[in-house]
């Protein structure tokens, strides 16, 4: 038997410590939570992304009574961007959420496994890592590339 340790590096920031560009994308993700359709979970998630060409997109979770037909915020943003700019990579992706009380969550929320795999595919497709910003009121996690969140991927880079 061989034992391996997998470690992930993430940096903690406050909103005002991010660059103006990254702060703008986080603020867009927060605003996108208001567009979420989440009548079943009451957990409203927003995502925003910045493409390599400067274009921005938002996404928000879309629930459906026929679970799991809904879609996560991250994938709605990534797929919308891919439909409009199929040859342009993602530079920054931010995620924010409001809990069942309607308030922004204190701790950052992390993408689900399906969203992580789409993020892997996005990085593979365009040949570079994206900056991932996970927003919480107490802190924002800044992660360089999807590997720290998904070190064992379905497909290799």
Q: Which residues are catalytic?
A: 74
Beta strands in the chain (DSSP E): 11-13, 44-51, 56-60, 90-98, 131-135, 140-144
Kindly state the tokens that stand for 7: 């470690």
- Give the bridge partners for 131, in sequence order: 92, 144
Tracing tokens 């342009």 back to the chain, one arrives at: 88
Tracing tokens 């497709």 back to the chain, one arrives at: 125
Which uninterrupted H or E stretch holds 27? helix 20-32
CB-based burial, 80-97: b 16+ in 10 Å, e otherwise: ebbeeeeeebbbbbbbbb
Cα separation of the two ends of the chain:
26
């Amino acid at each position: 038997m061989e034992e391996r340790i997998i470690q992930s590096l993430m940096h903690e920031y406050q909103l005002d410590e991010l660059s103006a560009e990254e702060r703008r994308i986080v603020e867009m993700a927060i605003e996108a939570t208001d567009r979420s359709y989440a009548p079943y979970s009451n957990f409203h998630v927003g995502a925003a992304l910045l493409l390599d060409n400067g274009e921005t997109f938002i996404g928000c979770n879309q629930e459906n009574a026929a679970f799991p037909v809904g879609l996560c915020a991250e994938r709605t943003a990534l797929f919308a961007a891919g439909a409009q700019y199929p040859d342009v990579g993602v530079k920054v992706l931010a995620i924010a959420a409001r809990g069942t009380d309607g308030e922004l969550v204190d701790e950052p929320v992390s993408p689900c496994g399906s969203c992580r795999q789409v993020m892997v595919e996005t990085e593979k497709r365009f040949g570079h890592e994206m900056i991932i910003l996970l927003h919480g009121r107490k802190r924002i996690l800044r992660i360089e590339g999807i590997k720290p969140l998904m070190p064992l991927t379905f497909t290799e880079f």
